[in-house]
């Protein structure tokens, strides 16, 4: 450190003390400027590069650190009966986690009151390396085939000409994709606007497998249940918050952790034997379906506590990279077609969004030994060599002291797969039945808000789209269809192009709107 330097002395990135941070270097004090002014050029050109591409979806988010604590059991049984994943085995065992919550469709600073699913992505830094559980607040999804994802997102995002989100484009896609009707029923109800991030559920949505020490597998779905209770907003309530605050969910999470009111969720799983289950009227690999709780109970396996805010938003939250391919021993994929498409997409986009060495960043790197022959690429900050490794041997196999393969930790799960290769949708589609069940399970204020919100947005749509949506609602439930039809008959045709959302009131949500419910 220079003679007069203290820990607070400003330097540039080369470590040179900055003696004048107010003025660029000029010929005389009125300019022109000189180009060799390193401090200025370093400062401004770094600023010019402050942004990385935002996430193509889920751009707006908030994050927090914490831990997961295992119960050692799944329901009444030892968890080892079903999975050998180490993080679950021992009662009280803690695994550090980082969680990122998000909204989906709009950009990095969009209001957190918008009707949208919410992301709920958890990175577990386990002793076996990282496990990412990349979920949403709702337990199902709009589509069941990854092929449709880019079209779905194009229809939901702002119009390519006007840059305005347009409900006609949304319902055009959804009415022509009837598998989306169950999810539309949730998203257009108060469940589409969680009150904040602390008071919402999470779900892995897609079907995974658990594998035990004998290599036997079961199908599982993961769910997070908030200890804070669940709270959702009517459109009217969301509009009132949005009028004065469009950061309320990030603020709520940050402030709760600062005042040491740490949010908690219990992790529960539903299990099914690893078969096609022809007795069910839906396919267990179809992510537009709930697994009925009375047949497949929610079994607790542990809890998660978030107790530390990020120290820097960009370093930790923006650069965090979650992916469905990031699993540890004892956890496996299923043949769920969405899951398989997702698993390619996440690390692909992250190599573009964050860079080839995104896994070297502290937020993404496992908190355990990494030893790999992968090397090079932009922004490599270290080689991940083993301490005893011959540094000349960056390949495998070798007898000269390079890295060697690990032994198989347990019996491998090796499912037998045979069939014709084809492009076809699944047989048991049952597109509207569960939407009807969900409609009937809703409380009356939730049904009223759902109908109001659908009518408000559908009234601006082409009458053919309205007719298709009414037909889907009628197929789901007689009352659902009737109320939607009557609502649309009474609604004035909207042509202003302005979303009328928020202008009307579905009636008050009960004061005790904190609810349990699946």
Question: Among all residues, which ones are annotated catalytic?
Answer: 58, 136
Choice from 39, 40, 57, 124 touching ligand HEM (CB under 6 A): 57
Which two tokens mark 392?
């000349």
Nearest distance from C-beta of residue 301 to ligand HEM, angstroms: 18
Nearer Cβ to ligand HEM, position 131 or 480? 131
Nearest distance from C-beta of residue 55 to ligand HEM, angstroms: 4
Nearer Cβ to ligand HEM, position 121 or 448? 121
Alpha-carbon torsion (144, 149, 151, 153), positive or negative: positive
Closest CA to 191 of 442, 460, 376: 442
CA distance 48 to 34: 19
Alpha-carbon torsion (415, 420, 423, 428), positive or negative: negative
For residue 306, list its beta bridge partners.
66
Nearer Cβ to ligand HEM, position 438 or 459? 438
Nearest distance from C-beta of residue 110 to ligand HEM, angstroms: 14
Site for ligand HEM in 110-139 (CB under 6 A): 119, 121, 134-136
Which two tokens mark 247?
């950061």
Nearest distance from C-beta of residue 510 to ligand HEM, angstroms: 29
For residue 514, report the phi and psi dihedrals to the nearest 5 degrees: -65, 125
Binding residues for heme: 346
Pairing of β 94-103 and β 129-136:
unpaired
Which two tokens mark 234?
């009517």
Residue span binding ligand HEM (CB under 6 A) among the ranges 86-94, 267-275, 337-345, 430-438: 337-345
Pairing of β 61-70 and β 208-211:
unpaired
Choice from 180, 212, 237, 350 touching ligand HEM (CB under 6 A): 350
Number of residues near ligand HEM (by CB under 6 A): 27
Using the rule CB under 6 A, is 229 a contact of ligand HEM? no
Nearest distance from C-beta of residue 356 to ligand HEM, angstroms: 14
- Close Cβ partners of 343 (under 8 Å, ≥ 6 residues apart): 323, 324, 325, 333
Q: How many CB atoms lie within 10 A of CB 224?
A: 22
Nearer Cβ to ligand HEM, position 58 or 169? 58
CA distance 358 to 350: 7
Site for ligand HEM in 135-154 (CB under 6 A): 135-136, 141, 146, 149
Residue span binding ligand HEM (CB under 6 A) among the ranges 229-237, 349-357, 382-390, 411-419: 349-357
CA distance 488 to 453: 11
Residues that bind ligand HEM (CB under 6 A): 55-58, 61, 100, 102, 119, 121, 134-136, 141, 146, 149, 205, 320-322, 338, 341-342, 345-346, 349-350, 353
């Amino acid at each position: 450190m220079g003679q007069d330097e203290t820990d607070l002395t400003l330097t540039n990135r080369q470590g040179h003390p900055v003696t004048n941070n107010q003025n660029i270097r000029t010929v005389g004090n009125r300019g022109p400027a000189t180009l060799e002014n390193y401090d200025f050029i370093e400062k401004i050109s770094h600023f010019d590069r402050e942004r990385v591409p935002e996430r193509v979806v889920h751009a707006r988010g908030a994050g927090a650190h914490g831990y997961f604590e295992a119960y050692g059991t799944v329901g009444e049984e030892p968890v080892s009966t079903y999975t050998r994943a180490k993080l679950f085995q021992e009662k009280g065992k803690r695994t550090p986690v980082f969680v990122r919550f998000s909204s989906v469709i709009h950009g990095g600073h969009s209001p957190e009151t918008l009707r949208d699913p919410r992301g709920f992505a958890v990175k577990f830094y386990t002793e076996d390396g990282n496990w990412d559980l990349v979920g949403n607040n709702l337990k199902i999804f709009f589509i069941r085939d990854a092929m449709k994802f880019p079209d779905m997102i194009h229809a939901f995002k702002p119009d390519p000409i006007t840059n305005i989100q347009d409900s006609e484009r949304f319902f055009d896609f959804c009415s022509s994709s009837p598998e989306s009707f169950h999810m539309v029923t949730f998203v257009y109800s108060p469940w589409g606007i969680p009150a904040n991030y602390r008071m919402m559920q999470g779900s892995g949505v897609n079907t995974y497998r658990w594998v035990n020490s004998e290599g036997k597998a079961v199908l599982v779905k993961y769910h997070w249940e908030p200890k804070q209770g669940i709270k959702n907003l009517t459109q009217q309530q969301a509009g009132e918050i949005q009028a004065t605050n469009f950061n309320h969910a990030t603020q709520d999470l940050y402030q709760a952790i600062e005042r040491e009111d740490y949010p908690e969720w219990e992790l529960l799983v539903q299990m099914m034997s690893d078969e096609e289950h022809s007795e069910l009227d839906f396919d267990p690999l179809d992510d537009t379906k709930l697994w009925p709780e009375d047949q497949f109970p929610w079994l607790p396996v542990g809890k998660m506590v978030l107790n530390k805010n990020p120290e820097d938003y960009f370093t930790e939250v923006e650069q965090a990279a979650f992916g469905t391919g990031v699993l540890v021993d004892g956890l496996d994929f299923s043949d769920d077609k969405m899951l398989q498409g997702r698993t390619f997409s996440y690390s692909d986009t992250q190599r573009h969004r964050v860079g080839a060495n995104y896994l070297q960043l502290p937020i993404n790197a496992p908190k355990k030994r990494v030893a790999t022959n992968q090397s090079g690429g932009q922004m490599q900050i270290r080689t991940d060599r083993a301490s005893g490794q011959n540094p000349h041997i960056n390949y495998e196999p070798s007898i000269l002291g390079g890295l060697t393969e690990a032994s198989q930790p347990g019996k491998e799960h090796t499912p037998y797969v045979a069939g014709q290769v084809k492009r076809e949708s699944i047989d048991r589609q049952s597109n509207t039945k569960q939407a009807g069940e969900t409609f009937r399970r809703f409380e009356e204020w939730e049904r009223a808000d759902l109908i109001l919100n659908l009518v408000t947005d559908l009234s601006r749509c082409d009458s053919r789209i309205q007719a298709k949506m009414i037909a889907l609602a009628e197929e789901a439930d007689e009352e659902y269809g009737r109320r939607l039809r009557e609502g649309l008959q009474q609604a004035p045709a909207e042509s202003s192009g302005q979303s009328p959302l928020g202008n009307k009131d579905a009636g008050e949500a009960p004061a005790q709107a904190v609810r349990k419910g699946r």
